[in-house]
Structure 1
């Protein structure tokens, strides 16, 4: 599947697991080598990056939930509460597949929810799927299409 040619290349990833960040970066490079990846190893650093404001602005944020200092839940609530950030597409990217987490993040206004795939190829598939979304015309997801899978 070809990537949407209108998609900008500025991807933010907040995840406290260095190995997960490295694997994500490698998969992203294989899927879309022109992407610019900005990484934060915790929620506080992500929010610092977003409050600068960042240049370039993120076209999509992949957000882990369980991080020290400031969780993905906290970041999600702050992003949606700030008028300068509330339009950023946020994809929750976590090991959790608990329905309560999914419902909570849907309620907080995340755009999509992805349980981290178990294989590198599935990770590439889900990244490709997210990068193919035309965020400019994106309508808020319904609960039925909120969870993405590879």
Structure 2
């Protein structure tokens, strides 16, 4: 039986960050397919479109136009179709209030965007190799903030 290709969705308004993410992912040589959206409204349109396959994991930036990451996370967790989707907050913010809010709103993990290409590759590799369906049952604040 052929392994399932990991479907990844990145919601980030910064074009450089999207390209950096895509380059790092491609360099890992993992069997992935990545789609990208550049704002919160586009993200929710994408997720609500039944013709789009839901991602295995969503990397969600907090600071985006139209709808920010927290507003998107609220909508995802309130949707019957989307509520169990794995959501990784992917942000430059290391503010304790942002981390706490993301945890309370139901994100699976909080990742501070690495500025170094090798650190981004290592982060993506680690995050994509977690069985999130198994891990979501035991979420706790100590393991919520992802660090390498």
TM class by shorter chain equals over 0.9
Structure 2 unaligned regions, length at least 5: none
**When the two structures are superposed, what TM-score results if normalisation uses the length of structure 2?**
0.93
The one of the two structures with greater contact order (alpha-carbon pairs below 8 A, sep at least 6) is 1
**Out of 7, 12, 16, which is 1:15 matched to?**
12
Structure 2: how far apart are the matches of 1:50 and 1:32? 26
Q: CA deviation at 1:56?
A: 2.2
Match of 1:91 in 2: 88
How many residues are matched?
146
| Unmatched 5+ stretches in structure 1 | none
Tell me: CA distance 1:142–1:50, structure 2 relative to 1, closer, same or farther (3 Å): same
Tell me the distance in 1 between the aligned counterparts of 2:46 and 2:145: 26
Greater than 6 Å deviation, 4+ residue runs: none
In the superposition, the TM-score normalised over structure 1's length comes to 0.92
Task: Give the equivalent residue in structure 2 for 1:123.
Answer: 120
Q: What displacement does 1:57 show?
A: 1.6
- Alpha-carbon distance in structure 1 between the residues aligned to 2:138 and 2:51: 24
